[in-house]
């Protein structure tokens, strides 16, 4: 039985503070001036023995700013600390002290650090030396707010020659591997409930500066939690920077968005999980009126088909005939996809508790969509973009969902997927 993430990892519950002044400002509900006026009124009401509810304090939290996996080169990562002003905290590197430190100049004594939550941004920097070995290595950090149980953080540093290859024969969402010197396969992992789980896998084409496909499971465990949209635009630490588009500071030129293949909204359980969707390897230059309109509605339709058994998704960019170009944020030329596609696979009931490879043909449903890179208008996904997975295999040359029978990939029933 293939346990879903919801079975293995409980939902991460985080107390919310909708009335905290900083939240009111950040969500644009109130301007800073109005928040000060509100605070003055609350103080006045308190002085007059009124029964207005007390504004709750901000919850104490700590999380990786971008990712718990870093490249082989020396550098630093960061843990963001939020909480009630004045709360004391302590951190200790418990494993990896020889190469990991809270100081960029002292890798002997700076393995313990204490502090107090202050107003504004609180950051705990974690510095690491270059990994000259042949294998990845891990450091463990213990972090605790005063009076609370310690929280464990794991930092994984890759080796120089290492990539995190996907488990092609084990994960149902993965297409079959295809040999090409220009392709780089990689899987990004993330932490959830103190476990290391897969986030998504890519087939990155170095000549196109884009992933030809991004494969990922979709389940409530990836959607329910304390995270949100991070806008943490960054280079992928696994793919060499020279092959990635440089849109960290600004988008592509022209009317092109930094279009996610794995949507940010599909990964909001934790901030680390979401931040990895902002890697440049997950981006393509996507026409703004496609990205923000029909494509966004299509992503919502896909999310609506999640199930307890897990929905398996592959999103891809296709470069057909007459490819045109634009420039990335740094002015370098990048090709523009002529088409986008998605292929979907899940159990029909959504509650079999079986692995995909153990399901009969009658228990599985699949579908594909093939999208021209143009504006469709702000409409729901039309039936005209729907086709079978087998047809998209024929167009792209990739073999999707190799664990299932060919008959399953011949299906094309849009209504079954909520597309009318």
Per-residue DSSP letter, 177: P
What integer pLDDT is reported at residue 117 of this predicted model? 96
pLDDT number for residue 7: 35
pLDDT digits (tens, 9 = 90+) for 160-173: 777 788 999 999 99
The reported pTM is: 0.76
Q: Give the burial class of 185: count Cβ atoms within 10 A of its Cβ; 0-12 exposed, 13-18 middle, 19 or more buried.
A: buried
Which pLDDT value is given to residue 73? Answer: 86
Q: How confident is the model at residue 12 (pLDDT cuts 50, 70, 90)?
A: very low
Q: Which of 19-23, 214-218, 361-365, 387-391 has the lowest mean pLDDT?
A: 19-23
Mean pLDDT of 4-30: 37
Q: What pLDDT does 9 receive?
A: 34
* Cβ neighbours of residue 214 closer than 8 Å, sequence gap 6 or more: 200, 201, 202, 261, 262, 282, 314, 315, 316
H-helix or E-strand spanning residue 339: strand 339-347
Q: Any bridge partners for residue 88, and if so which?
A: 116
Torsion angles phi and psi, residue 25, rounded to 5 = -70, -50
The number of residues in the chain equals 420
Tokens of 380: 């729901």
| 37 pLDDT more than 70 | no
Q: Please tell me the number of Cα atoms within 13 Å of 303 on its side-chain side.
A: 18
pLDDT in tens, 52-103: 444 456 789 999 887 888 888 898 999 999 999 999 999 999 999 999 999 9
Which segments of 96-136 are extended strands (E)? 100-101, 112-116, 122-128
Q: How far is CA 336 from the centre of its chain?
A: 23
CB atoms within 10 A of CB 50: 10
Question: What pLDDT score was predicted for residue 20?
Answer: 39
In the chain, the N- to C-terminal Cα span, in Å, equals: 33
pLDDT in tens, 174-202: 999 999 999 999 999 998 988 889 999 99
Over 70: is that where the pLDDT of 49 sits?
no
Residue 145's H or E segment, with its range, is: strand 137-145
Task: Assess whether pLDDT exceeds 80 at residue 14.
Answer: no
CA distance 185 to 198: 14
Percent of the chain residues topping a pLDDT of 70: 86
pLDDT at site 163: 73
Residue 47: band (very low, low, confident or very high) from pLDDT cuts 50, 70, 90:
very low
Q: Dump pLDDT digits (tens) for 341-381.
A: 999 999 999 999 999 999 999 999 999 999 999 999 999 99
Question: DSSP for 225-294?
Answer: SS-------B--SSS-GGGS---SSS--SSSEEEEESS-GGG--SSHHHHHGGGBGGGEEEEEHHIIIII
* SS3 category, 202: strand
Who wins on pLDDT, 71 or 271? 271
**48, pLDDT greater than 80:** no
Q: Minimum mean pLDDT among 34-38, 124-128, 203-207: which range?
A: 34-38
Helix (H) or strand (E) holding 62: strand 61-64
Q: What is the pLDDT of residues 295-343, one digit of tens each?
A: 999 999 999 999 999 999 999 999 999 999 999 999 999 999 999 999 9
With CA atoms as reference, report the closest residue to 21 among 54, 60, 52: 54
Tokens encoding 216: 């990922």
Q: Average pLDDT of the chain?
A: 88
Domains of the chain: 8-42 (no CATH), 57-162 (2.60.40.10), 163-417 (3.40.570.10)
In which order are the strands placed within the sheet that holds 69-70? 69-70, 151-157, 137-145, 88-95, 112-116
- 260, two tokens: 């996610």
Beta strand 256-260 with 210-218 is: unpaired
pLDDT for 56: 53
Within 8 A by CB and 6+ apart from 71, the residues are 157, 158, 237, 238
**How far apart are the C-alpha atoms of 175 and 399, rounded to whole Å?**
5
Alpha carbon separation from 214 to 258, 275, 277, 313, 341 (Å, rounded): 15, 16, 11, 8, 11
Rg (CA), the chain: 23
pLDDT digits (tens, 9 = 90+) for 120-140: 889 999 999 999 998 889 999
CB atoms within 10 A of CB 377: 10
The residue behind tokens 């092109």 is 256
pLDDT of residue 57: 63
């Amino acid at each position: 039985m293939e346990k879903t993430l919801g079975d293995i990892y409980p939902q991460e519950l985080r107390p919310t503070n909708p009335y905290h002044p900083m939240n009111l400002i950040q969500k644009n509900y109130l301007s800073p001036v109005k928040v000060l006026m509100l605070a003055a009124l609350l103080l006045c009401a308190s002085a007059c023995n009124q029964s207005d509810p007390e504004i709750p304090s901000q919850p104490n939290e700590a999380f990786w700013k971008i990712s718990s996996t870093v490249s082989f080169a020396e550098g630093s990562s960061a843990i963001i600390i939020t909480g009630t002003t004045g709360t004391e905290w302590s951190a200790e590197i418990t494993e990896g002290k020889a190469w990991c430190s809270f100081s960029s100049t002292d890798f002997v004594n700076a393995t313990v650090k204490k502090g107090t939550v202050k107003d504004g941004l609180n950051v705990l920097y974690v510095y690491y030396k270059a990994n000259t070995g042949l294998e990845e290595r891990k450091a463990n950090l213990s972090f605790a707010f005063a009076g609370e149980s310690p929280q464990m953080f794991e930092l994984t540093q890759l080796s120089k020659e290492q990539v995190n290859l996907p488990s092609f024969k084990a994960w149902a969402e993965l297409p079959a591997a295809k040999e090409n010197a220009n392709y780089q396969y990689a899987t990004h992992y993330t932490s959830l409930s103190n476990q290391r789980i897969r986030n998504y896998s890519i087939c990155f084409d170095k000549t196109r500066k884009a992933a030809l496909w991004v494969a990922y499971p979709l389940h409530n465990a990836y959607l329910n939690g304390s995270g949100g949209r991070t806008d943490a635009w960054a280079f992928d630490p696994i793919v060499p920077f020279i092959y990635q588009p440089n849109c960290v500071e600004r988008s592509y030129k022209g009317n092109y968005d930094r279009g996610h293949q794995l949507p940010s909204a599909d990964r909001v359980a934790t901030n680390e999980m979401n931040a990895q969707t902002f890697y440049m390897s997950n981006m393509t230059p996507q026409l703004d009126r496609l990205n923000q309109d029909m494509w966004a509605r299509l992503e919502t339709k896909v999310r609506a088909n999640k199930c307890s058994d897990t929905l398996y998704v592959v999103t891809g960019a296709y470069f057909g005939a007459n490819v045109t170009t634009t420039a990335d944020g740094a002015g370098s030329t990048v090709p523009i996809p002529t088409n986008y596609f998605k292929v979907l696979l899940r159990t029909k009931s959504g509650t079999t508790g079986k692995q995909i490879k153990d399901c009969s043909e009658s228990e599985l449903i699949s579908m594909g969509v093939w999208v021209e890179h143009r504006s469709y208008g702000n409409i729901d996904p039309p039936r005209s973009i729907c086709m079978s997975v087998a047809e998209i295999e024929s167009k792209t040359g990739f073999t999707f969902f190799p664990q299932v029978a060919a008959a399953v990939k011949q299906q094309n029933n849009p209504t079954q997927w909520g597309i009318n």
